Structure 1
Amino acid sequence: MSDNPVQGLLQTALSGLNGMMDVNSIVGKPIETSDGTTIIPISKVSYGYFTGGSEFGSSSSTHMPFGGGIGGGATITPTAFLVIGPSGAQLLPLDMPKDSLSRIIELTPQLLVSVREWFDNGASSRPQ
């Protein structure tokens, strides 16, 4: 079965997918902020492929012509951020819960504090 052309197509597809997908596709590179907080993006990776082939000609010949094809696709969807800061670690999912307005209101004070700190740090580094 080692000389089967379909097997060659399949090996080509799998080696291509292995080259595209690695652990950094799922758990992204950490992002460091000026206040020491680390943000790590988390994603969902989905991929699929198909392959097929057929031999044409009569069964009496020793070598039959082969026709085949391969196709595939992949998606990477961000799903959450892991935030590690002085107050601990928190997982912030990107899918909004049913009561998304409550979630936005809950996170607003944290956002305002971060924006204020950012402006304060930026203002102190400007030349006078």
Structure 2
Amino acid sequence: MTNSHPIEGLMTTAMENLKQIVDVNTIIGEPIQSPDGSTIITVSKVGFGFAAGGSEFGQVNSKSDSDQSSDESEQSYPFGGGSGGGVTITPIGFLVANKQGVQMIHLHQNANLYEKMVEVAPQALDKVKEILSNNQKGKETSD
């Protein structure tokens, strides 16, 4: 018999069951082939929480007084505990791959704002460089 604490068993059981629920196919779904040859993959956001706790309520002798020696007494504590966990899965969009390329289609428009900012940033920087260089050239010709 091992000397593992009862809470270890609670935590192991809860984590193994949550591990079975959350796998890569939960976040990135199974690919779906459409009739036009496009591949559609669902993308989800997964939230995960886990808690475990326990307590021992005092010392209880596991052997009778006549069976114990003073140095070799084994004592156990009554244990009370529990564990739990939760998973939330929120779909956020679809990844579509077809002949035209790969496109992310968001279900929520607010999430799309950041993607558009990243797409437009290089063009905006080029425009700023162009304006600054035109201002610099204008100053040189006026001098």
Relative to the length of structure 1, the TM-score reads 0.70
What corresponds to 2:45 in structure 1? 44
Aligned residues: 99
What corresponds to 1:29 in structure 2? 30
CA-to-partner distance for each residue in 1:82-118, whole Å, 9 max, x for gaps? 0111111101111113999xxxxxxxxxxxxxxxxxx
Q: Which runs of 5+ in 2 are unaligned?
A: 62-74, 114-143
1:82 maps onto 2:95 in alignment = yes
Q: Which runs of 5+ in 1 are unaligned?
A: 101-128
CA-to-partner distance for each residue in 1:33-88, whole Å, 9 max, x for gaps? 11111111011111111110011123x74111100011111011111110111111
Q: Identify the structure with the greater helix proportion.
A: 2
What corresponds to 2:83 in structure 1? 70
Residues 2 and 95 of structure 1, relative CA distance in 2, 3 Å threshold: farther
Match of 1:24, SS state, is helix
Whose Rg is larger?
Answer: 2
Asked if the contact 2:7/2:81 (under 8 Å) is kept, the reply is yes
Residues 98 and 85 of structure 1, relative CA distance in 2, 3 Å threshold: closer
Take 2:15 and 2:36, find their aligned partners in 1: how far apart are those partners? 42
Relative to the length of structure 2, the TM-score reads 0.63
